[in-house]
Amino acid sequence: MPGNKEKIMKSSCLNIDQLIAYINKTISPEDREMVEKHLSHCDKCLEMVSMTSQMINETIEVQASQKIKECVEQVKESIKDFYQWAKDQIPPLWVEPSYQPELALASVRSDHQHTSPVTDKNIYIKQRMNNLTTEMFFEQSSTGLISIKIRATQNNQIAHQVFIYMKAKGKGPSARLLKSPYVSFDDIPFGMYCIVVEQNNEEKGEFCFDVNDNGIYGK
């Protein structure tokens, strides 16, 4: 008889769904009573309840920790974006040498950001064009006219044999030979434009934008 009783007890042991339902308190009162009665004389299932409960709690803690990390990262990104925007309003060092280097040199907009519309009065953009790094500083006056200062560097030095073209829709291009520290295009009216960088008669890249009464929009 004892052996038969042991066999019955083993066959009626709780499965994982019953364990989780019991721990999460999603089980009916009748089933809870049955489970607790079983646990009162089954050490194996009692141990399983304890282990499962611990695993659930650890999982919740890990998920909570991940959520906290995600929130912290989101806050950091928001602060970083605002800080970047604020710094991007400052002329870079090569435009205004009188500015403090730690402010000016940090003014870098990442390559992908120029694809979004921007309406700031002063905009600094740094973009990789093939083997050249091209930097552009846009200033918009109260009348809406734009001035743009542009330079291209290679291995952290001013690039040689570089022509920079300003192409306006419906007009012929204006060209400047890059000389230290930059080239400038001034008093640019409303319209659609593309800046093209060329070195040794080879086009390295372009940046297109629109100037209107709302500001400057990168394409």
Mind listing the pLDDT tens digit for each residue in 78-96? 555 554 555 555 556 666 5
| Stretch 17-34: mean pLDDT | 81
d(CA 81, CA 6): 66
pLDDT class of 18 with cuts at 50, 70, 90: confident
Question: What is the pLDDT confidence band of residue 108, given thresholds at 50, 70 and 90?
Answer: very low
Per-residue pLDDT tens for 116-166? 444 456 788 889 999 999 999 888 777 778 889 999 999 888 999 999 999
What is the mean pLDDT of the segment spanning 57-61?
65
Given this model, what pLDDT does residue 139 score? 84
pLDDT at 177 over 90: yes
Structure-token match 């500001």, residue found: 215
Q: What is the pLDDT of residue 101?
A: 34
In whole angstroms, what is the distance from residue 135 CA to residue 114 CA? Answer: 12
Distance between CA 215 and CA 133 in Å, rounded? Answer: 25
Residue 182 buriedness (CB in 10 A; 0-12 / 13-18 / 19+) = buried
Lowest mean pLDDT among 3-7, 44-48, 190-194: 3-7
DSSP state of 117: B
How far is it, in rounded angstroms, from Cα 184 to Cα 97? 16
Is 75 a residue whose pLDDT tops 60?
no
- The secondary element (H helix, E strand) that includes residue 197 is strand 191-199
What pLDDT does 40 receive?
A: 83
Comparing 180 with 131, the larger pLDDT belongs to 131
- Give this prediction's pTM: 0.49
